Amino acid sequence: MSCAGYKQGSNSVEKISLSAVTDTIPLDSFFDRGIADDDCGELVNLALAVPGIDVVAAGPASCSRVLYFRAAKKSLQERLFLLPISSNDFTAGNHLQNLEESLTDLAASRRSRAIIVYVTCADILAGTDFASITERVECQHGIPVKVFERGPLSRRRTLPKERLCDIFIDLLQRGNRSGSNNCIQLLGDAGKLAETSGLRKMLMHYCSDGEIREFAALDSYEQFEEMTTGKLNIALDRFGYDMAVGIQKKWNIPFVFLPACYNMKEIKGSYGALMEALHTTWDFSQDSKAYHQLAAQTAATLAGKQIAVGIGARSFELAYALMLAGFSVSTIFADIVNKNDRAYINALLAIGSQAQVYLISNVTGETQAGGFTEIDVAIGEKAAFYCAKAKEILVSADYRFGYEGITEIMEAMR
pLDDT in tens, 272-292: 999 999 998 877 788 889 999
Do residues 305 and 371 share a domain?
yes
Distance CA 44, CA 47 (A): 5
Task: Establish if 169 belongs to a structural domain.
Answer: no
Residue 132: pLDDT band (50, 70, 90) is confident
- Between the CA of residue 383 and those of 9, 39, 72, 264, 311, what are the distances in Å? 22, 20, 29, 23, 7
CATH number at residue 368: 3.40.50.1980
* 193 and 113 assigned to the same domain: no
DSSP 27: B
| Structural domain includes residue 267 | no
More confident: 159 or 225: 225
Integer angstrom CA distances of residue 164 from 48, 149, 173, 270, 346 = 11, 9, 14, 27, 34
CA 94 to chain centre: 36
pLDDT tens per residue, range 168-218: 999 999 986 766 678 999 999 877 888 889 899 889 888 877 789 999 899
Q: Does 34 reside within a domain?
A: no
- 311 and 352 in a common domain: yes
* Burial per residue of 116-140, b for 16 or more beta-carbon CB atoms within 10 angstroms, e otherwise: bbbbbbbbbeeebebeebbeebbee
DSSP, residue by residue, 250-275: HH---EEE------HHHHHHHHHHHH
Reported confidence tier of residue 244, pLDDT bands at 50, 70, 90:
very high
Please tell me whether residues 400 and 363 are part of one structural domain: yes
- Mean pLDDT, to the nearest integer, of 90-110? 85
The pLDDT confidence band at residue 156, using thresholds 50, 70 and 90, is: low
Q: Please give the pLDDT value at position 5.
A: 52
d(CA 385, CA 382): 5
Predicted confidence at residue 13, as pLDDT, reads 43
Is the pLDDT reported for residue 12 higher than 50? no
In a domain, residue 168? The reply is no
- Picking from 150, 169, 200, the residue at the C-terminal end of a domain is 150
pLDDT tens column, 293-346: 999 999 999 999 999 999 988 999 999 999 999 999 999 998 878 888 889 999
Q: Is the pLDDT of residue 238 over 60?
A: yes
Q: Is the pLDDT of residue 54 over 60?
A: yes
Domain count, the chain: 3
Length of the chain: 414
* Residue 224 in domain: yes
Q: What angle do CA 235, 26, 372 make, to 5 degrees?
A: 95
Q: Which of these three, 242, 259, 276, is where a domain ends? A: 259
CA–centroid distance for 95 within its chain: 32
Confidence of residue 22 (pLDDT cuts 50, 70, 90): low
Query: Order of strands, edge to edge, in the sheet holding 80-84?
Result: 80-84, 53-59, 114-119, 145-149
- Full 3-state SS string of 391-407: EEECCCCCCCCCCHHHH
Q: Examine residue 112 and state whether it is found in any structural domain, yes or no.
A: yes
Cβ 145 vs Cβ 134: under 8 Å: yes
Whether 233 and 350 share a structural domain: no
pTM for this predicted structure: 0.87
Range name among 60-74, 144-158, 163-177, 338-352 with the lowest pLDDT average: 144-158
pLDDT digit string, tens, across residues 359-384: 887 787 777 777 789 999 999 999 99
Give the pLDDT confidence score for residue 11 in this predicted structure: 35
Under 8 Å CB-to-CB from 285, ≥6 apart: which residues? none
Domain identity same for 291 and 408: yes
Sign of the dihedral defined by the CA atoms of residues 89, 90, 95, 96, in that order: negative
Residue 149 is predicted with a pLDDT of: 76
Are 196 and 101 found together in one domain?
no
Same domain, 17 and 45: no
Residues 202 and 123 in one domain: no
Model pLDDT, residue 28: 55
- The fraction of the chain above a pLDDT of 70, given in percent, is 85
Does a structural domain hold residue 396?
yes
46 forms beta bridges with none
199 and 89 inside one domain: no
| Interatomic CA distance for residues 106 and 83, integer angstroms | 12
- The answer to whether residues 270 and 405 touch, using CB atoms and an 8 Å cutoff, is no
163 within some domain: no
Show the domain range for 252.
184-259
* Domain match, 81 and 109 both: yes
Q: Which residues contact 12 (CB under 8 A, 6 or more apart)?
A: none
pLDDT of residue 30: 42
Question: Do 136 and 90 fall within a single domain?
Answer: yes
